[in-house]
Structure 1
Amino acid sequence: MQQKRRRRAWKVVLWGLLAVVVLGVGGILVWSQVGVMAAEPEPLAAVRADPAIRIDDAPQGIVMTPTDGDSDRGLVFVPGAKVDPWAYASILQGLADDGVTVVITHPWLNLAFFDLRGLDAFTSAAPDIDDWAVGGHSLGGVRACQLAADAEGLVLFGSYCADDLSASDLAVLSISGSEDGLSTPAKVDAARHLLPDDAEVVEIDGAAHASFGDYGAQAGDGTATISRDDMHVAVTDLLVGFFAGFPER
């Protein structure tokens, strides 16, 4: 009788643990799909209408390829947490117009930290390109830092590294915003020592966290004082200048 009671107790415990796991996994799945910040339609429509770029929604991500066929450099870009990847197409449009192939990833569960794929899972979208930089916005930038060992360059939008890359020979461009309420100027500055000494670090006056994508306002962010058009011009100028000398050091 006592043995039966023990077995029954163990069954109750095991079923209870299983229920906790199922509820936990289910909760994460639901949370990852709720509150995803959608791409604004107007800037995205302008990208789709750009004759200088071919856009493919491929398994590797959103691939923006210059139509002149003369692209020899690429950027794999990781979106911020729970931000529609299409929200970054417009701010990266100028770079693609300048001849750089751009791959915007579709992170698993809309969160870069859950996406364990290596960089080659995305660069395979353009196998003829040998020189790649990896970049990202916010938590996507943190993930990009983890993938940077397999790239020649790193681009950060409103982000900073948790990994120490200071001894690497990476070409690095870090762009932040003076009004960013999430990746604040103080946080970006505190992590500066994790980047190489010759990293290009630029703070755009008036830019907020959500200025680095086209998905509307974001909770906890500051208020941007720079217009969308001026922000896109500023970021494009920085990216084009960075890739003009890439991957040479």
Structure 2
Amino acid sequence: MKKFLKILGIIFLGLILTIILGYYNLRYTAEDVVVENNMIQDEYGWFVDVPNEQATIIMYQGALVDAKAYLPLAASIAEKGFDIYIMDSWFDLPIFGINQAQNIIDREQLQNVILMGHSLGGVVGSQVALSNSNIEGVVLLASYPAEGTDLSNSTMKVLSIVGNQDQVINRENYDNADLNLPALTQKVVIDGGNHSQFGDYGFQKGDGVATITKEAQWHQVADEVCQMFSK
């Protein structure tokens, strides 16, 4: 019996190690991201602080993407007058951090909150927005609400941004999700943008090749966010 338990323990340990190694092989880490003085790391992830903010954006990272990889995008948006939190979820999977936005809202007593998410992060953000009256808008970056998340009767604003070179997003699901979006939805296509360049983590497997720089893509996102949500 002891021998059997020992063998079982070895198998279990091997399985755990396989999962961990697989995770690190699949994970997309931030590239040469410069951390500025107004970028603060805390228990929930990263915070980009600006004086006299118009509103606060809370962002869910894409699946298996280092939260730090979104700091350059956050910096571009912050220049427009928005505080931004980038949540760092367990195993870089936003579904494991689904309650973090509410925790931040409660801790900081926030109002005028906008949820933003990249890819799977947008799916999670849409779900959170559906059940939270403190949310005034959602920004979907290469993302869309899940089939069971119906925002069509909501009065909130939704900004949906996708690159025309994005080969990762499921286009059929993206188009079908229009039925779940509210009337105050604006859809923007970035000419030359792809899936990977919403962050700064290199080229994502299966993506299309962008024909614009990542900096240009970040600045266009920032401009669209400012245009829709500025007071």
State TM-score, norm by structure 1: 0.80
CA distance in 2, matches of 1:147, 1:190: 20
Q: How does 1:195-214 map to 2 (within 5 A)?
A: 195-214=181-200
In structure 2, stretches of 5+ residues that fail to align are: none
Q: How much is the aligned-residue C-alpha RMSD, in angstroms?
A: 2.5
Residue 128 of structure 2 is matched in structure 1 by 147
Asked if 1:56 corresponds to 2:48, the answer is no
Q: How does 1:6-21 map to 2 (within 5 A)?
A: none
Q: Does the aligned pair in 2 maintain the 1:88–1:213 contact within 8 Å? A: yes
Q: How does 1:1-249 map to 2 (within 5 A)?
A: 27-41=18-32, 44-45=33-34, 48=36, 54-66=38-50, 68=51, 70-124=52-106, 127-148=108-129, 149-150=131-132, 151-162=135-146, 163-245=149-231
Q: Does the aligned pair in 2 maintain the 1:176–1:185 contact within 8 Å? A: no
**Percent sequence identity over aligned pairs:** 31
Cα offset, 1:23, TM superposition:
6.1
CA distance in 2, matches of 1:223, 1:83: 19
In structure 1, stretches of 5+ residues that fail to align are: 1-7
Q: Give the length in aligned residue pairs.
A: 225
Amino acid at match of 1:240: C
CA distance in 2, matches of 1:225, 1:78: 26
Instruction: Spell out, residue by residue over 1:84-105, the C-alpha distance to the aligned partner (whole angstroms, 9 max, x if none).
Output: 1111111121221222110000
Amino acid at match of 1:110: D
Amino acid at match of 1:114: F
Q: Does the aligned pair in 2 maintain the 1:33–1:109 contact within 8 Å? A: no
Over 3 Å counting, the alpha-carbon distance change for 1:135 and 1:18 in structure 2 is farther
CA distance in 2, matches of 1:118, 1:231: 27
CA distance in 2, matches of 1:202, 1:216: 23
Cα offset, 1:112, TM superposition:
1.3
Cα offset, 1:21, TM superposition:
7.0
CA distance in 2, matches of 1:199, 1:17: 53
CA distance in 2, matches of 1:194, 1:26: 40
Work out which of the two has the higher radius of gyration on C-alpha atoms and give 1 or 2: 1
Instruction: Spell out, residue by residue over 1:97-149, the C-alpha distance to the aligned partner (whole angstroms, 9 max, x if none).
Output: 22211000001111112334252223356x15311111110111111111113
Q: Does the aligned pair in 2 maintain the 1:29–1:109 contact within 8 Å? A: no
State TM-score, norm by structure 2: 0.86
Deviates more, 1:183-192 or 1:102-111: 183-192
Over 3 Å counting, the alpha-carbon distance change for 1:197 and 1:21 in structure 2 is farther
Over 3 Å counting, the alpha-carbon distance change for 1:244 and 1:22 in structure 2 is same
